[in-house]
C-alpha cells in the first residue's frame, strides 16, 4: 500500500507542472454527475477530490454551491474506504500538489454528507466490515499529525469531528443502544484523545469541538488530564475545554 502512494507522488512530480495542470483541468471540466469511481486508482481518486478550480466568491452574490453538492458517483464502498485510509495515513502527498483553497474544499467534501462517497457516508455503511471502518477512523490521527497540525486551513479542520460525531449530540446515535453506536463512539473517542495531545492549537481545538459533540463517558477524565498537563492554556481555551467536559454544545 505504501509503495503505491509513493509511486503516485513520484509520477506526479515527474510529469512537471504543465502536465499536472492538464490533469487537473480534466477533472475540473467533468460533468457534475455520472462519475464512475469504480476503476479509479488511488491517485485518480485524490485528483477527483482536490484537483478543482476554486472560484472566488463575490461578496455581493449568493454563496456558490461547491462541486460536491451535485455530483453523482458510482463507487465501491470498501475500495473508497481503503483509499481514505491511505490518504489519511500519508497526507503529505497532497500538500505540494494542491493549493490551500483546494485542500480546504476537498476536505469539506470528504467530511460532509453531500457527496455520496464522503467518509461520513462510508462510515455509516454497515455492509462494510467494522474493522475496515475503524481503521479509517484511527488513520485520521495521522491526518491531523501529518497535515492539519501545520497546514492551517480555514474551517474544515475545526469542523472535521463535528461532521463525524454530531450524531451522538443530536440523538441519531445513542451509546446505550450498544452495537455500532457504542463501538464507533469508542473508536472516535480513542482517536480524539490522541489528537487532543498533539502539540498544535488547531488540532487541540478541533478535538475539543468533537469531544463536545461525541458525549463519550470518558470525556471528563480525559479533559481533566489535558488541563493538568497544560497549565499555561489561555482562559478561553480552558473554558472551552471545560464546556466539552460537561457535554455542553460547542460551536
Same domain as 129, residue 173: no
Tell me: pLDDT of 221 over 80: yes
**Would you say the pTM of this structure is higher than 0.75?**
yes
Residue count (the chain): 251
Would residue 60 count as lying in a domain? no
C-alpha grid cell, residue 18: 504543465
pLDDT digits (tens, 9 = 90+) for 64-114: 789 999 899 999 999 999 999 999 999 999 998 999 999 999 999 999 999
Domain hosting residue 251, numbered range? 158-251
pLDDT digits (tens, 9 = 90+) for 240-250: 999 888 865 55
- Provide the pLDDT for residue 61: 45
Same domain as 7, residue 130: yes
Would residue 184 count as lying in a domain? yes
Tell me: pLDDT of 16 over 60: no
Would residue 63 count as lying in a domain? no
Report, as an integer, the average pLDDT of 155-182. Answer: 96
Same domain as 141, residue 85: yes
Same domain as 139, residue 185: no
Tell me: pLDDT of 13 over 60: no
Mean pLDDT of the chain: 85
pLDDT digits (tens, 9 = 90+) for 33-62: 589 999 999 999 999 999 999 887 644 445
Would residue 59 count as lying in a domain? no
Tell me: pLDDT of 15 over 50: no
Amino acid at each position: 500500500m505504501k509503495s503505491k502512494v509513493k509511486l503516485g507522488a513520484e509520477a506526479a512530480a515527474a510529469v512537471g507542472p504543465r502536465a499536472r495542470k492538464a490533469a487537473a483541468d480534466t477533472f475540473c471540466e467533468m460533468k457534475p454527475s455520472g462519475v464512475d469511481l469504480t476503476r479509479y486508482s488511488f491517485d485518480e481518486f485524490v485528483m477527483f477530490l482536490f484537483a478543482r478550480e476554486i472560484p472566488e466568491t463575490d461578496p455581493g452574490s449568493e454563496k456558490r454551491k461547491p462541486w460536491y453538492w451535485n455530483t453523482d458517483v458510482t463507487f465501491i464502498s470498501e475500495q473508497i474506504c481503503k483509499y481514505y485510509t491511505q490518504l489519511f495515513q500519508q497526507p503529505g502527498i497532497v500538500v505540494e500538489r494542491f493549493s490551500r483553497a483546494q485542500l480546504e474544499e476537498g476536505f469539506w467534501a470528504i467530511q460532509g454528507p453531500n457527496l455520496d462517497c464522503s467518509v461520513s457516508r462510508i462510515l455509516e455503511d454497515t455492509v462494510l466490515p467494522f474493522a475496515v471502518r475503524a481503521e479509517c477512523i484511527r488513520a485520521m490521527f495521522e491526518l491531523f499529525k501529518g497535515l492539519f497540525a501545520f497546514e492551517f486551513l480555514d474551517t474544515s479542520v475545526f469542523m472535521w469531528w463535528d461532521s463525524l460525531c454530531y450524531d451522538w449530540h443530536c440523538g441519531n446515535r445513542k451509546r446505550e443502544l450498544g452495537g455500532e453506536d457504542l463501538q464507533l463512539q469508542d473508536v472516535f473517542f480513542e482517536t480524539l484523545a490522541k489528537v487532543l495531545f498533539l502539540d498544535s492549537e488547531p488540532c487541540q481545538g478541533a478535538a475539543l469541538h468533537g469531544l463536545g459533540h461525541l458525549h463519550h463517558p470518558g470525556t471528563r477524565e480525559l479533559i481533566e488530564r489535558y488541563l493538568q498537563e497544560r497549565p499555561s492554556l489561555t482562559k478561553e481555551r480552558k473554558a472551552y475545554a471545560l464546556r466539552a467536559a460537561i457535554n455542553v454544545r460547542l460551536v
